[in-house]
Amino acid sequence: MNINLGELIRLKNRLVDIDDNISTTLSSANAEVNNISSLLSSSGLSNACSIVEEEISVLVYTLKTNLEKIEEFMSTQINKYEITNEEAVKELKELINLLNSLSSDKNIYGNDSQFVAGGLKNINTNAALGEITAVGVGGIVGESMLTGSKFEQGNAFQNNNANNQIDISVYNNKPEYGFVVTTGNKTYNLTPEEYDLLCSIVAAESDHSYDDALGVVTTILNRCEDPNWINFVEIGYHMENNPINQATCPHQFVVYQHGLNQRFLNGNAPESVQKAVMDALAGVRNHDYLSFRSNDSTGYSWNMITDTGNRYL
């Protein structure tokens, strides 16, 4: 099974919404068809409408019956997760205790061990001294390091992370629309050039607020982590599945394909975008969505973190 608990809960909630939405929308559509039929005073159209109405009733019944079964099945799977998670909770508590003891020493780079996603990993002390560790606000250390060879001393990206704190107070939550800021997610290494390119694409795609910029970059990283999104090799592009390739692959982000990101290159992306990208690469996310469309695509979705930002689904 490749699906995690958070994603399973999100999908189950979405299924419940769909169950309600489709039935309601079909009924509303049917009412409009009947209204039009009455406006035209056509017996032929009226008969056709009756047939459509009957078909829709059968469809709604079949949908509801089977969706309820799938919802029930997913609830069972969620409960199973909660039972088997006891061990994970125990392990997590131990990790947090150990992290607290490391933090209290104020010398985490000098210790022989540190956390990575999934458990404890021994590392070479000297090697650790040459690395900058991204630390989530929740106290979980990210799994990857920003190595000195990739970032020059004095680089803002490096310094911010070197403070061992990510300021997430600038981000807002909208749980009712699926936006919750989380830390400790998968982290990524980028070269300065790659970071600049990613910032330019996010700047061209977002409304430049912290929230929408984080939303855009989260979408890119979610795609990297979703086994059902693009498999580059399968579609004939023999390249690594990483944020840059996800953002620049043909048919993905139109702003890159059309060169609309160019004006934000060379450090010209707004500070809010640069921070959002930097935080996301260090493990911050604000949703589980895999796609978004522009604000004027009103038929696409109403899941927005800002009123002027993208619509996520």
Residues making contact with other proteins (CB under 8 A): 1-3, 11, 14-15, 18, 21-22, 25-26, 28-29, 32-33, 35-36, 39-42, 44, 52, 56, 59, 62-63, 65-67, 69-70, 73-74, 77, 228, 299-301, 313
Residue with tokens 């607290």: 100
What's the min distance (Å) between Cβ of 56 and other proteins?
Answer: 7
Distance CA 197, CA 204 (A): 11
Strand partners, 116: 119
Given a contact cutoff of 8 angstroms between Cβ atoms, the answer to whether 147 and 131 are in contact is yes
Q: Residue 56 or 162: which CB sits closer to other proteins?
A: 56
Task: State which residue, 72 or 271, has the beta carbon closest to other proteins.
Answer: 72
Residue 42 or 85: the one with the smaller Cβ distance to other proteins is 42
- Listed in sequence order, the residues at least 6 apart from 242 whose beta carbon sits closer than 8 Å to its beta carbon are 188, 224
Cα 271 from Cα 275, distance rounded (Å): 6
| CB of 65 or CB of 104, closer to other proteins | 65
DSSP character at residue 206: S
Q: Please, which residue, 63 or 123, has the CB nearer to other proteins?
A: 63
**C-beta of residue 212 within 8 angstroms of C-beta of residue 306:** yes
Q: Tell the smallest beta-carbon distance from residue 202 to other proteins (Å).
A: 24
Long-range contacts of 118-127 (CB under 8 A, 24+ apart): 118/143, 119/91, 119/95, 120/95
Q: How far is the CB of 238 from other proteins (least distance, A)?
A: 24
Tell which residue, 150, 95, 135, has the closest CA to residue 118.
95
Q: Residue 292 Cβ, how far from other proteins at the closest point, in Å? A: 13
Minimum Å gap between C-beta 12 and other proteins is 9
Query: How many other C-beta atoms are found inside a 10 Å radius of the C-beta of residue 46?
Result: 13
Shortest Å distance, C-beta 299 to other proteins:
4
Of 17 and 105, which has the nearer Cβ to other proteins? 17
